[in-house]
Each structure stands twice: as C-alpha cells, then as structure tokens.
C-alpha cells in the first residue's frame, strides 16, 4: 500500500509568550521569557511562586460566556487554539466532507482546576454532605476537549485524546499523521492543551522537587543546559496543528507550511519520572523517527529538544543526540524553547512541533535563553550548538521535535520543507 503524503495547513496557539502563532513566534525569536509571579491564585505558601501563565487572553472573544463557564481552563485553551487553526486552514466550510475530518488532542493531566475546585469548595468537606456540580465530570475528564472541538464544527472523523504525560500532544500528532497517510481521514485537527497552574498542580510538582524555586528571578529560572539549572518552570497553553492529506490540500488550494514526514515512539522502561541516564529511550525514538522519515542524520538541520532545565534530563538528551547523529550532531542547531514558554506538559509537543514547522518555513532558529558565560556543566558537551541567547538564521531543510514524559514515554516528530 502506498502511503499518502501529509502536510500542515493550519496553526493555532495560546501560550505564555503570545496568544496567536504569529505573536508567539515573534517573542520566541526575540528571546522573551513568559515567566512571572503567579497571579491566578495565592502561591505565597508554596516553594515555587512563579510560572509561565497566559497573559491578556479574552476567552469570551472566542467562546460564548455562558458556554465557557461549563469548560475547564484546559478545554477553553484547547478550543481557542483549534478555532485559530481551523480558521487559518479554512476548513470550516460546506465544501469540506466533515465525515473525513477528525480531532485528536493530547493532554497530560486534564481538568485539574475543576477537580481542585469541586473537592475544595463543593465536595467532600461540606457539613451537609458532598454536593457536586452536574458539570463536574464533563469538565474534568481528559478527553472532553477533543469532543468539544468536534461538536463545535461537526467533524465526524476519528475523535479521541492521547495521554502520555509530556509526550501527549506529540503522540496526538503521530496518530493523526498515521491515520491520514493510511487513508482513514483527509484532515485531522491535532494538538494538545494543558492548564495545571493551580495549588495542587504547582504543589504536587514541588513535592517531587521537579520545579525551579528561583522565586527572586523568574524570567531567568528556566535555563536548559546551564550548570545552575534547578528544575523546570510550569507553563500553560494549547497548540493546534492541522494535518491534511497532500492531494486534498492541493485540490482546495490550501496554503502549506511544511510536510510531516516521520514520527517515532519509544519507552524508557527505566523510572516513573526520571529519564534513562544514558538517553536510551531518547536515542531509540529519534532513530525510529529518522527511519520512518527515510532520512539520514545529516538531513536534519534543527532539533527542538525536550530540554526541560533539569539536571538528568538535559544530560541524557544531549547524550542521545550525540549517539544518533554522530559527527552530524555538531552541524545541527539545537534549542529549547521551554526556556521561554516554560514546560507546557501535555501541550508541549504541539507547541514545540509548531516551532519546528515555523523554523522550517522561515529559516531561523529560536534561541535557548538564560545561558550565562561561566555557567557550564562539565557533563554537557558545549561543542554542540544550543543556539544560546540569540536566534540564528540558517537554511532549515528539516527539523525534529522531541518530547519525553513521566512514565518513560518518548515521542519524536519530523517536518521538512514542502516541495512537489
């Protein structure tokens, strides 16, 4: 069976550094940090009191006020990103066979805001007994965002959610890619969302010693590949990537950002939270993505790395890149945009895949910010080009995006310039 080609025809993004793909991209290239003291709740008693929150977003400009009250924050963000992506791709049209349009969105946690609110204010602690909102379960469950997107547009194709921690939305993209190239759908609205900046979200990650505690200097807290890194910075947001079968896109005159050409998936089989110290799963997933794409290491010009700003994670990913790419590793540009957006958990894969797509389209690499002279870890190979602090212009023929999740879940997606 000949596999169909898959292209990107629409983008949508709501992030801590911009509420559209264009605004996000501009700020990433400028090295803008989205980190600041938390404003959405009182974090004064937590070890970490800052995060990368979304700023100045008017939810009701996209979603009816009455309807938005029935949605958890992560679903609101998912729906807004999808509205942007569908509009950009021009697929909300009577000319589109909506039976052939699917929705696959990833999320790592889901409706944690709703769960916290219901348990704290309405649930088990009431003197007159538990009393929950009838919207509690529909707001909380992890699959509901893809359902809302499907309902809004009447898309009857494959519809589900992928949940693999921080790899969730990369797995969503991989599934969408495979379904389209197998001919099971013409278009899939794919991506991911997460909104876990709340007491239980931040407090829970604090209990694991996973977050930076640089409360006196939030904008410099996410510092991948620097010796002084002390954990990741929590982010929130959503990204939408419209994937479409090439001939279908050409027939309707769609604009094409890039072509998706491969994906890889692997498991560390090592630890529930720590990555394999030698990067075994990361190595396997990049090798599989290259094999699937029919590419050699020297075909890739840019890797948007997982790069969370944790000690073991940054080292293991660097080791894996060196093993997979060999001498070609030193010709690559590498960057971690988590240094600016923070870690968007289940939405990270979609946003970072979008960064890879935009790098391919525009021939420019966003930086890894916050690296200072003398802040070098003896376990990190600084002969690799981490694109520290300043964006780099270069031809980007193809780019790869890595995401690795708690549980040892690894996913990698590959995009290249589109040509006939």
Q: What is the pLDDT of residues 255-295, one digit of tens each?
A: 999 999 999 999 999 999 888 989 999 999 999 999 999 99
* Strand, helix or coil for residue 10: strand
| Burial (0-12, 13-18, 19+ Cβ within 10 Å), 182 | exposed
Q: Token digits for 177?
A: 């890619």
Which of 148, 248, 276, 306 is labelled catalytic? 306
Q: Is the pTM of this model over 0.85?
A: yes
Q: What angle do CA 280, 343, 164 make, to 5 degrees?
A: 55
Task: Give the burial string for 293-327 (b: 16+ CB within 10 Å, else e).
Answer: bebebebbbbbbbbbbbbebbbbbbbbbbbbbbee
Calpha distance 324→334 (Å, rounded):
14
Which of 52, 113, 148, 166 is labelled catalytic? 166
Are 61 and 80 in contact by the 8 Å Cβ rule? The answer is: no
Task: Give the pairing type, strands 187-194 and 101-106.
Answer: parallel
What's the pLDDT at 237? 98
What's the pLDDT at 273? 87
Q: Token digits for 375?
A: 């802040």
What's the pLDDT at 132? 86
What's the pLDDT at 357? 98
Cα radius of gyration (the chain): 20
Calpha distance 323→328 (Å, rounded):
10
Q: Token digits for 351?
A: 């946003």
Q: Is 343 a catalytic residue?
A: yes
Which of 113, 220, 248, 343 is labelled catalytic? 343
pLDDT per residue over 333-344, tens digit each? Answer: 999 999 999 999
Cross-strand bridge partners of residue 266: 410
What's the pLDDT at 204? 97
* Strand, helix or coil for residue 387: coil
What's the pLDDT at 125? 65
What's the pLDDT at 413? 98
Calpha distance 115→113 (Å, rounded):
6
Instruction: Find all residues with CB under 8 Å of 28, minimum gap 6, and list them.
Output: 17, 337, 340, 341, 355, 366, 391
Are 156 and 167 in contact by the 8 Å Cβ rule? The answer is: no
Nearest C-alpha neighbor of 249 from the set 101, 406, 350, 116: 101
What's the pLDDT at 1? 78
The DSSP 8-state label assigned to residue 164 in this structure reads B
Q: What is the mean pLDDT of each run of 10 residues along the chain (420 residues)?
A: 95 98 98 98 97 97 95 98 98 94 98 92 71 91 98 98 97 98 98 98 97 98 97 98 98 97 96 90 98 98 97 96 98 98 98 98 98 95 98 98 96 96
Residue holding tokens 């590959």? 414
What's the pLDDT at 77? 98
Q: Is 306 a catalytic residue?
A: yes
What's the pLDDT at 210? 96
Calpha distance 41→29 (Å, rounded):
30
Task: Give the pairing type, strands 237-245 and 6-14.
Answer: antiparallel
């Amino acid at each position: 069976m000949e596999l169909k080609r898959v292209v990107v025809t629409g983008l949508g993004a709501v992030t801590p550094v911009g509420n559209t793909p264009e605004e996000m991209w501009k700020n990433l290239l400028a090295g803008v940090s989205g980190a600041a003291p938390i404003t959405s709740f009182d974090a004064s008693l937590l070890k970490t009191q800052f995060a990368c929150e979304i700023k100045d977003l008017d939810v009701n400009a996209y979603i009816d006020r009455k309807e938005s009250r029935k949605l958890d924050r992560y679903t609101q963000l998912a729906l807004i990103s999808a509205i942007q992506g569908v509009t950009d791709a021009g697929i909300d049209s009577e000319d589109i066979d909506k039976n052939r349009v699917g929705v696959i969105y990833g999320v790592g946690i889901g409706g944690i805001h709703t769960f916290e609110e219901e348990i704290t204010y309405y649930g088990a602690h009431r003197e007159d007994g538990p009393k929950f909102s009838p919207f509690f379960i529909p707001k909380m469950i992890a699959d509901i965002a893809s359902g809302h997107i499907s309902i809004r547009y009447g898309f009857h194709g494959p519809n589900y959610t992928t949940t693999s921690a921080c790899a969730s939305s990369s797995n969503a993209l991989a599934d969408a890619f495979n379904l389209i190239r197998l001919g099971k759908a013409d278009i899939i609205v794919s991506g991911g969302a997460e909104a876990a900046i709340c007491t239980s979200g931040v407090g829970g990650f604090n209990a694991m010693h996973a977050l930076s505690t640089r409360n006196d200097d939030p904008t410099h807290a996410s510092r991948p590949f620097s010796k002084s890194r002390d954990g990741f910075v929590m982010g929130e947001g959503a990204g939408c990537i419209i994937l479409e079968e090439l001939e279908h896109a050409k027939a309707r005159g769609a604009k094409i950002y890039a072509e998706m050409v491969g994906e890889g998936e692997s498991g560390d089989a090592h630890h529930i939270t720590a990555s394999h110290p030698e990067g075994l799963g990361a190595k396997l997933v990049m090798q599989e993505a290259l094999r699937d794409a029919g590419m050699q290491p020297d075909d890739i010009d840019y890797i948007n790395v997982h790069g969370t700003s944790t000690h073991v994670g940054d080292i293991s990913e660097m080791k894996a890149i060196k093993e997979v790419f060999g001498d070609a590793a030193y010709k690559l540009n590498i960057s971690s945009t988590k240094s600016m957006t923070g870690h968007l958990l289940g939405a990270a894969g979609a946003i970072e895949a979008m960064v890879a797509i935009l790098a391919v389209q525009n021939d420019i690499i966003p930086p890894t910010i916050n690296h200072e002279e003398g802040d070098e870890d003896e376990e990190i190979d600084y002969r690799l080009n981490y694109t520290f602090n300043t964006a780099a212009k270069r031809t980007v023929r193809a780019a790869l995006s890595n995401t690795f999740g708690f549980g040892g879940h690894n996913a990698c997606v590959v995009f290249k310039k589109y040509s006939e």
